[in-house]
Chains A and B, each alone.
Chain A
Amino acid sequence: MPGIGVAPMEANLPPIVRRNYGAWVWHEVIRPGVLKHVSKSGEACFTVRAGMPPNARVSTALARRICEVANRFCGGYLRITRRHSLELVGVAEAELGAAIAALREIGLAVGGADRTFHNIVCCTGWIHCQFAATDAPAIAKAISDGLWEDFQSEGYPAKLKISIAACVNQCGEGSTADIGVIGIHRDLPRVNDAEVAKCEVPLIVSICPTGAIRPKPPKSVQVDPRRCIHCVACVGQCVGMPIGDPETDGVAIYVGGKAGNQGSGPAFGKLAIPYLPNRPPRWPEVVQAVTGIIGVWTKGARRDERIGDWISRIGWERFFDKTGLPVSDKHLDGYVLWPMAARTGVRFRW
C-alpha cells in the first residue's frame, strides 16, 4: 500500500558523498566526461559520466551490467543525472581508465560534460505513446550517432543540449534545450460521435484554447479547422478524438532555450524551422538541419556563449541570414502571446 514514501536518502548515497555532504568547494572537468570534485577536507571525488540509450530505455540486462560495473569501481552506487546520463560517483583516480573501458565494453561512451554535446533528453515516442507525432528515440539515435565524436571531446564554444519531444505536450521538453526537436500534428482530431458521447463534452469544449471545438447535438462535438492549432489538448481528454496522419505529421525545430540564469537568462526555444517531414528510420532532413545550426553556432559564437546567448547578441536577422533558413508566416506569433514576440523598437541589425 502507498504511504511508505521515498527511500531513505542515506541508504542510497555513496560513502564519499555522505562523508563530504555539503562540503564541496570546487570542481573541474579533468577530461571529457570525467569530473573531479574537491571537498573542504581535501578529499577528491571522481565521477565518470556516460551517455545512455535514447529515451533512457534500459533493459534489465543492461541495468544489471551497469550495476556490476558500479560494484567493481565505486562500491555499488550510481546516479542518473537530470539529462539521463549515467554517473559512477567515487571512482578511484587510478581506476578511471579501467572504469571508462568497462563502460565502453557494455556499449556506453564516456563524455557529455562542459563544452560538449550532452546526452539527449527525449520522450518515449512510438515505443509506447498514443500522442506521438514522430519518433523521438529514433531521431535521438540518429543525431547522437552523428555527434558521437563531439560527445567525447570538447569542441564547442559552450555546452550543447538537445531535447526531443514527439508531440506538443512536450514530455520530452523540446522547448527547454539549446536545440529542440518537437513533433507536430497538422491534421484535425477525428471526431467519433459514438465514442465522444462517452466523454465529458463540456470539458472537451472548455479545454480548447482557441474555441475551435463546439458542441454538436445531441452529444458530440465539431472542430473548426480554421481555429484549430493542433495542440492535442482535447485528444488526451477523450477517447473519441484521435489525431495523427502519417502524410502530414512531422517535426519543428526550436533553438535557443535554456534554464540557467547566465548570459541572456532563462528562455524557451524559438522556432527556427516550422516543419520537416517524418522520414524513418533516420530522419535525414532533421539531422542535417540540426548539424547545420550547430556548425554555424560553433563558428560564430564566443567562448561560453550558448546558442540562445549567441542569437541574442547577433539578433534573429543574422541568425536566419547565417543559417540560410527561410522565414515564413509560421515564424510570426499568431497565438495569444503575439504582442510579446512582435518587435516594437526599430533597432534593427542589417
Chain B
Amino acid sequence: MLVVQLACPKCGFVIEQYPAEQLETDSQKQKRYQYLRKKQTLCPSCLTQTSKLEERRVEAQAGAEASVLAAAQAPAEAGAPEADEGPTPFCDELGRGPWPSHVRELRRTRYHMQMYEEALRLRQTQWGFGGYVSLPGVAAGLAVRASARPEIAKGANFLRILPPGGSFYSTETLGKVCDIADRYAYGLLHLHSTGGNIEILGIPTEQLKEVVSALNAQGLDVGSTGDAYRNTVECVGPARCDATLIDTLGIRDAWYRRFLDDVQFPRFPHKLKIKISGCPNDCTRSVQKSCIALIGVFRDAPKIDHERLAAWVEGGGDAAHIARMCPPRALDWDGRRLAIDQEACTHCMYCINKCPAIRPGDDRGVAVLVGGKLRGKYGPLLGRVLVPFVPLAPPEYRELFDLLHRIDEVFDEHARRKERLGDFLFRIGMDQFSRLVGIEPSAHQMAEPRSNVFYHWAAGPPGSDAAEV
C-alpha cells in the first residue's frame, strides 16, 4: 500500500500519514492534507517549528506506522518518579490554609515540585515553548511542552480526553482514567480544563500514542486541540435542571455523531469553539467564550401557576421584590395577583429562577450566536445573534447542524489564518457574514439598526454566489 507521509525536515519524524488512495478520494482528508502542507507545525519529537514539512511516498505494510514511530524516537524515558531534591518553602506556604491545596495534590504525584517551586521563587514560569501536535493517526488531542529547566525536569506532554455528556462520570469511567494516568504519566489529572476536557499531564513523548491506544481500549477518545472544532461544553440540561429549555445532552451527542471528524482532524483557519446552554442563564458562559453559542430560548410568555404562587407567598416568598427587580419591568404585583406584560418580557429567566410558581413557556428552540471569544486580534468580544430561533428536530437536528456546517464552511473558506471567528466577523461585518451564510435578516439579530449610511449595494441576496463583495 502506498502511503503519503508528512515528516519533520530536521529529524525525519513522521507527523502524519495517509494511504495514497484515501487521499485521492476523501475530501476531508484532502483538506486536512492541504492545511498541514501550509501550516506551521511543531514537531513533537525535536520540538522544532517548521513551516515546510517534507513529503514522502513510501510503500508500507499494515501496522507499519507503529514501527515508523518507534524508529523515529529516542529510547523511552522511564516514567518512574524522581525524588525531588531541595527545600520548597513557597510550596509549603501554599499547602497551608483551609482550602484544598493544589500543592498537596501535586505532591501526591510524580510532578516535579522544583519546577513549580522555582517558578514561585523566581516569579517566572519555568516551562518552555510547546503546542498542539499531531501523530500519525492521532491528529488532535495531544500537546507537547518543552522545559526551560531541563536539569530539573524534561518537557512534559499532555493529552485531552473527550468527556462524557454533561460531565457526568461513573466512578468506573473515572477509575479507568486514573489507572492510565498512574501507569503512563505523573498520576495527575486536570479535572477539567476550562474547555471541559480531562487532561492527563506528564506523558513521555514516545508513549503518547500508546496512551491513546490504551484510552481507546477503554472506550475513551481524545481530541479537542489545534485548529479544529473543540469539545462542546454543555450545561447539565434535562439531566438535572428544571430551567432548561432544550435537550443539551442530546444535542451534544448528535453533534458529535455528525462532527466528530472535524473535532479530531484540524483543518480550519483557527479553532472553533461551540458551547450549548439550556436556557438564557447561560451556565456554560457560551456568549462570552465560544465562536458558536447555542442557547435555549422560548418565545411565548412565562407561565404563572397562581395557586402555587399564593402558597409560595404564604411560605415567605417575596413576590414584590421579584416584580421590582424584573429587568424590563414586565411584572406587576398588586399584593394578590402577579401579571406579566408580554410585550415587555425579554424572557431573561430572572423570575423563573427565583419563583417556583413561574415556569418557562412551551414554544422552545435554540438561538445561534457567533463570534464570542476572549483573546485574538480584537480582544474579548461577546457573541452576536445570528439566528434568533431555530426549531429543534431530534434525533438528528438536521436544520440546526446544517446551519452550523454552513457557518464553518464560510469560516474555512474566507477567514485568514489564525483568525478567530469573532475577529473574522469584526473584519467583514455582520451584514456580509449573514449574506455568506445565507441568513434571512431579522430584527432579533440586532440591538438596533445601523446609524451610518455606508452599505454594500453590490452584494447579491443571502446565500447566493454574488453574496460576497
Contact = CB atoms under 8 A, between A and B. Distances in A.
Interface of A: 1-9, 11-14, 17, 21-28, 37-38, 45, 47, 51-64, 66-67, 70-71, 76-82, 84, 89, 107-109, 121, 123-132, 135, 137-138, 141-142, 144-145, 148, 168-173, 175-176, 198-200, 203, 206-207, 209, 231, 233, 236-239, 242, 244-246, 249, 257, 259-268, 278, 280-282, 302-305, 335-337
Given A128-B156, A200-B51, A108 B100 contact: yes
25 contacts: A2-B216, A3-B221, A9-B250, A14-B168, A17-B240, A22-B244, A26-B242, A37-B242, A54-B102, A57-B189, A59-B108, A63-B174, A63-B178, A77-B171, A82-B235, A128-B156, A137-B102, A173-B194, A206-B417, A237-B40, A249-B124, A261-B346, A263-B327, A267-B382, A281-B120
Contacts of B247: 22
Given A3-B260, A127-B106, A304-B354, A280 B123 contact: yes
The secondary structure that dominates the A interface is: loop
Contact of A337 (B240, B244, B252, B378): B378
A3 B215 CA distance: 12
B289 A173 contact: yes
Contacts of B221: 2-6
Nearest to A71: B171
B406 interface: no
Most chain B CB atoms below 10 A, which of A55, A123, A141: A141
A9 B105 CA distance: 29
A107 B404 CA distance: 43
Contact of B256 (A6, A51, A63, A121): A6
Contacts of A3: 221, 260, 264
Given A6-B162, A12-B165, A175 B374 contact: yes
A222 to B, nearest CB: 19
Given A4-B220, A9-B250, 4 more contacts: A1-B216, A2-B264, A79-B167, A141-B94
A4 B239 contact: no
A51 B131 CA distance: 30
B129 A239 contact: yes
B430 to A, nearest CB: 15
Interface stretch (B79-87, B280-288, B435-443, B454-462): B280-288
Contact of B170 (A63, A76, A108): A76
A11 B252 CA distance: 15
Interface string B151-165: 000001010001111
B74 interface: no
A70 B171 contact: yes
B396 to A, nearest CB: 15
Contact of A233 (B123, B174, B377): B377
A266 B382 contact: yes
B192 A84 contact: yes
A126 B125 contact: yes
A175 B139 contact: no
B464 to A, nearest CB: 30
A263 B188 contact: no
Most chain A CB atoms below 10 A, which of B99, B187, B253, B286: B99
A267 B238 CA distance: 26
Most chain A CB atoms below 10 A, which of B108, B162, B191, B418: B191
A65 B303 CA distance: 44
B125 A2 contact: no
B127 interface: yes
A62 B285 contact: no
Interface residues of B, number: 132
Most chain B CB atoms below 10 A, which of A176, A244, A335: A176
B233 interface: yes
Most chain B CB atoms below 10 A, which of A9, A23, A76: A9
Contacts of B40: 199-200, 203, 237
Most chain B CB atoms below 10 A, which of A3, A38, A260: A260
Interface string B165-194: 111111111110110011000011111111
A40 B28 CA distance: 46
A67 B171 contact: yes
B168 A79 contact: yes
B134 to A, nearest CB: 11
A262 B216 contact: no
Interface in B55-82: none
Contact of B120 (A37, A172, A280): A280
Contacts of B48: 198
A347 B4 CA distance: 67
Given A6-B253, A176-B289, A262-B353, A145 B98 contact: yes
A303 B178 CA distance: 43
Given A12-B164, A64-B175, A82-B284, A124 B98 contact: no
Contact of A126 (B120, B139, B166, B382): B120
Contact of A5 (B99, B162, B236): B162
A137 B170 CA distance: 27
A249 B169 contact: no
B49 interface: yes
B191 to A, nearest CB: 5
Contacts of B284: 82, 259
B130 interface: yes
Contacts of B325: 302-305
A173 B285 contact: yes
Contacts of A198: 48-50
B284 to A, nearest CB: 6
Contacts of A267: 382
Given A54-B102, A198-B48, A260 B280 contact: yes
A76 B168 CA distance: 11
B100 A11 contact: no
